[in-house]
Amino acid sequence: MTLNLESSAPDRVAFDRYQCLADDVLAGGSISREDALSILDAPNSDTLAILAAGYRIRHRYFGNTVQLYFLMNAKSGLCPEDCHYCSQSKISKAPVPKYNILKRDELLEGAKLASERGAKTYCLVISARGPNEREMNAVETIVPEIKEKYGLDICACLGLLNREQADRLKACGVDRVNHNLNTSETYYGEICSTHTYGDRVQTLRHVRDAGMEMCSGGIIGMGESREDIVSMAFDLRELGVQSIPLNFLNSIEGTPLEKTENLSASDCLRALAMFRFVNPDRELRISGGREIHLRSLQPLGLYVANSLFVGDYLTTKGQAPKADYEMIQDMGFEVTQSACGTA
């Protein structure tokens, strides 16, 4: 499938329309919610035109660079929350490993692997409503050692945080905290009942007020409407989130959302592009589910996104790192070791 700029008049009209939206964004403007929704609702024949326009925005702020992240499942399968998409929730019957927070040597070995794979950021993730004192102490102890030994940025994903915990994470050297909104405020009650959308927003505010970067994104394909996806993109912009991981539901057997499959590769590409138009200078990461939903079209996602996870996810396998490196190289892009945070 190629973009033919000399094609029929309707195709040219569509191409020009998306270029005009990009012009507005690059001039410092913002697209409307209606424009964002129209990107999601566009026909498949418009997808390449949308990506071409979105690439201009991506290139303005990130050039052809790609930043790699490495996930470490530091505590697995022991979460008391009931998030319907998650294999580690209390209602999941998925056969996932169950263990408390890993020991120092295991966390250091993960950091070593992250460094060897070219990742700039090491993501420490625990399954929990929020960190207990033992887990806070473990993070406070290991973060300075990882940073000194490997020079990695640290992103902590520890669940709900209060302000005192956020201040402690900042003090020990955590650069960024991940806490995803996951969906819109309107739809949130459909995917979780043990905490609220407001709880998640409050955690992000504590992170921001403590002086750390906010990493927050979501999952598409959980049965939400396109309006919900747009609302999430705009909420992230209003919060000032620096890094946005966009996941595509991997419907794991044993979870309430098993067998939920309602995404095409083009749906995923247009969603990535819409997030780029709405959040033009924010890091945008193609996250979980890319291998399943984008398949052979994964490289096209990098025309609007500028970040990937390298290696496996928390409880599911990712693409082989070698394939990711080759994909980036084949696109004419390059892995960067520069920090991507935007104030």
Q: Which residues are catalytic?
A: 79, 83, 86, 123, 155, 215, 285
Write the CB contacts of 116 (distance below 8 Å, at least 6 apart in sequence).
none
Cβ contact 285:70 at 8 Å? no
Between CA 206 and CA 53 the distance in angstroms is 35
Q: CA-CA distances (angstroms) from residue 10 to 4, 7, 17, 43?
A: 12, 8, 11, 12
Cα angle 134-137-140, degrees, rounded to a multiple of 5: 155
- Cα 333–chain centre separation: 19
Token pair, residue 149, equals 């030994």
Q: Which residues pair with 244 in a beta bridge?
A: 284
Which residues are within 8 A (CB) of 60 and not within 5 positions of it... i.e. 6 or more apart?
A: 26, 280, 281
Rounded to an integer, what distance in angstroms lies between the CA atom of residue 51 and that of residue 67? 19
* Calpha distance 77→314 (Å, rounded): 10
Eight-state DSSP code of residue 321: H
Give the contacts of 132 (CB within 8 A, at least 6 positions apart): none
Q: How many CB atoms lie within 10 A of CB 12?
A: 14
Q: What is the DSSP string of 1-17?
A: ----TTS-HHHHHHHHH
Tokens for 167, please give them.
């201040």
